[in-house]
Amino acid sequence: MKKILLLALLALSIPAFAAKPKAIVVFLADDLGYGDTAAYGQSLVPTPNLNRLCNEGCRFTDCHSATPVCTPSRYSMMTGRYPHRLPNNNILDGDAKLIIPVEGSGEENVTLPVLMKRAGYKTAAIGKWHLGLGDGKGPIDWNGEIKPSPKEVGFDRSFVMAATADRVPCVYIEDGRVANLDPADPIEISYDRKANPKWEGEITARTNPEMLKDWGRPSDYQHDKTIIDGISRIGHMRGGKAALWKDQDLADTITDKAIDFIKDAKGEPIFLYFATNDIHVPRDPHARFRGVSALGIRGDATVQMDDCLGRVRAALAENGYDDTLFIFTSDNGPRVSDGYEDGARDAWKGVNPAAPWAGGKYSVLEGGTRIPMVACWPGHIQPNTVSHALLSHTDYARSLAAIAGVEVPQGACRDSQELSYVILGQNENGRVSLPEESAWGPWGYRKGNWKFIEGANYGKGVEGPYLFDLTTDPTERENLAERYPEKVKEIQAEIRALRRK
Ligand code: NG6
Ligand code: CA
């Protein structure tokens, strides 16, 4: 009897999907804002492949990354934990240690890739990583085996950039080793922010500005270090010449790798985590995309991203993966100018990449974390639909585990909500509330269509707390905190409880 009850309970807790998809793909764009594409109202940037995905799937209007910057957002998607569970969870440099648990480090530490592996998928991480490498006990061995790397986290295959394209090292790391490295030309990395140059003979934007592409100059002291491929970076790098990437080929290179993974899988179940560099800085799209949008290089980079999307989807179709749950989304809100004078500021004058929301990357306003998301699974997700459900990337771990039919162990993915039916567009019963966390400033918090921002000044010149009604005030202008003190108290208590947990 007990056993039957247990089975019944189990059946209730794991939704019974008739069959799991043959492939699950998370396509994660970088810094792509809510209002950056035609799918979300920006008609000056042609993104036909994203449009097609919308026509074939469900478009979400209230999905959020866990924070308005990259690393903690990705941490949350991978672990199913809120960013604040890890102290000082913030943007990492290229030489930072791994911040997500390795496979086998305890059932409570199980991550999204490990769950996918357990569900029988071959897993791959391709593109931007930005979750750290190595165990931090010593410096990363760029010239030997880099361990732990995505491999130890549950990715059978990986081909990644360590951090951002504006940070050294500017090389790809393939299955734990720098790809194309000449052992006679070892790599050395330093994040000494004061020294410029760091080494004698180092070519930086300060020592040799004439070596920069006429594409753009660094706009702050962080981005004016080693020049690689005509672009100055954050941090210093020497050696590894044969392994250096070419920025204009970045999108094609990672897309080719993703396609190789799809082909090599030969119809076996796959989980692909594909993270583009686009449309993060430095934006140096391939020549074939220059000038294709009416919104400068930032618009062009978006078209390039869309091309990657089209190519990955075509490869899936060509290799027998019609039965794919494909999720498109972005790691945080938009930023027009973020370190280089690449012309984006002028091209985007008066145009809001987070429209209709205010704020963007780094910001606690809605535009910081409210990002595009489209999900498609032929035969399971109704084509050409829209969902207004409140949803977080933090929920992917539990929801995808449910879709893949694998159990999440006790204590694991603790902040992830099982919203598989929401992702599949079958209902709009998403989250009731959602923290919009920040590692350096006040948090935002959503409760239905209420938007709360903790006290402290976030650029409005008024002391908080703030309470906005997004239904009537999408750009968060009219502070209703004094008018609704009970609502403020209720939300403050929820935030306190969350931080204590
Ligand atoms: C910031 C960089 C910014 C960008 C960001 C990471 C400065 C002044 N700004 O520190 O250019 O690289 O880090 O972006 O250096 S993210 O999308 O990966 O979070
Ligand atoms: Ca980002």
Does ligand 1 lie within 6 Å of residue 281's CB atom?
yes
Q: Which two tokens stand for residue 159?
A: 């081909």
Residue 429, CA atoms < 13 Å, CB-side half-sphere = 7
Q: How many residues does the chain have?
A: 501
Least confident of 12-26, 79-93, 370-384, 427-441: 12-26
Q: What is the pTM of this model?
A: 0.96
Alpha carbon distance 169, 238 (integer Å) = 9
pLDDT classification of 464: cutoffs 50, 70, 90: confident
Is 311 strand, coil or helix?
Answer: helix
Question: In which residue are the tokens 């085996």 written?
Answer: 145
The pLDDT of residue 11:
47
Q: Measuring from atom 6 of ligand 1, which residue has the nearest CA?
A: 91
CB 66 within 8 A of CB 84: no
Alpha carbon distance 303, 276 (integer Å) = 12
Q: Which two tokens stand for residue 15?
A: 């939704």
Question: In which residue are the tokens 């791959």 written?
Answer: 124
Does ligand 1 lie within 6 Å of residue 336's CB atom?
no
Mean pLDDT, to the nearest integer, of 190-211? 98
Query: What is the per-residue pLDDT across 126-141, written as a single tens digit (0 to 9) for each?
Result: 999 999 999 999 999 9
| Closest-approaching ligand to the CA atom of 276 | 2
Does ligand 1 lie within 6 Å of residue 222's CB atom?
yes
Helix intervals (H) in 265-381: 296-318, 344-347
How many angstroms separate the alpha carbon of residue 164 from the centre of ligand 1? 8
Least confident of 7-11, 71-75, 120-124: 7-11
Query: Across the strands, what pairs with 360?
Result: none
Alpha carbon distance 484, 501 (integer Å) = 26
Does ligand 1 lie within 6 Å of residue 339's CB atom?
yes
Measure the N-to-C terminal CA separation of the chain; round to a whole number of Å. Answer: 35
Does ligand 1 lie within 6 Å of residue 439's CB atom?
no
Q: Which of 69, 93, 217, 438 to mutate to test the pocket of ligand 1 (most atoms within 8 A of CB)?
A: 69
Q: Which of 222, 225, 278, 438 to mutate to test the pocket of ligand 1 (most atoms within 8 A of CB)?
A: 222
Q: Is the peptide bond before 465 cis (omega within 30 degrees of 0)?
A: yes
CB 305 within 8 A of CB 312: no
Helix intervals (H) in 231-337: 250-264, 296-318
How many angstroms separate the alpha carbon of residue 325 from the centre of ligand 2? 23
Q: What angle do CA 113, 119, 122 make, to 5 degrees?
A: 60
The pLDDT of residue 15:
53
- Nearest by Cα to 75 from 96, 98, 103: 98
How many angstroms separate the alpha carbon of residue 167 from the centre of ligand 2? 13
How many angstroms separate the alpha carbon of residue 490 from the centre of ligand 2? 31
Does ligand 1 lie within 6 Å of residue 224's CB atom?
no
Element (H, E) at 7: helix 2-13
The pLDDT of residue 309:
99
Q: Measuring from atom 19 of ligand 1, which residue has the nearest CA?
A: 70
Mean pLDDT, to the nearest integer, of 489-493? 97
How many angstroms separate the alpha carbon of residue 90 from the centre of ligand 1? 10
Q: Is 9 exposed, middle or buried (0-12, 13-18, 19+ CB in 10 A)?
A: exposed
Is 471 strand, coil or helix?
Answer: coil
CB 15 within 8 A of CB 421: yes
- Nearest by Cα to 368 from 305, 266, 440: 440
Does ligand 1 lie within 6 Å of residue 165's CB atom?
no
Query: What is the per-residue pLDDT across 106-116, written as a single tens digit (0 to 9) for each?
Result: 999 999 999 99
- Nearest by Cα to 181 from 97, 259, 237: 237
- Amino acid identity of 373? M
Measured from the CA of 223, which atom of ligand 1 is nearest?
Answer: 15
Alpha carbon distance 41, 38 (integer Å) = 5
Q: Measuring from atom 3 of ligand 1, which residue has the nearest CA?
A: 338
The pLDDT of residue 1:
45
Does ligand 1 lie within 6 Å of residue 234's CB atom?
yes
Q: Measuring from atom 16 of ligand 1, which residue has the nearest CA?
A: 70
- Amino acid identity of 349? K
Quote helix, strand, coil % in the chain, to nearest 5. 30, 20, 55
The pLDDT of residue 440:
83
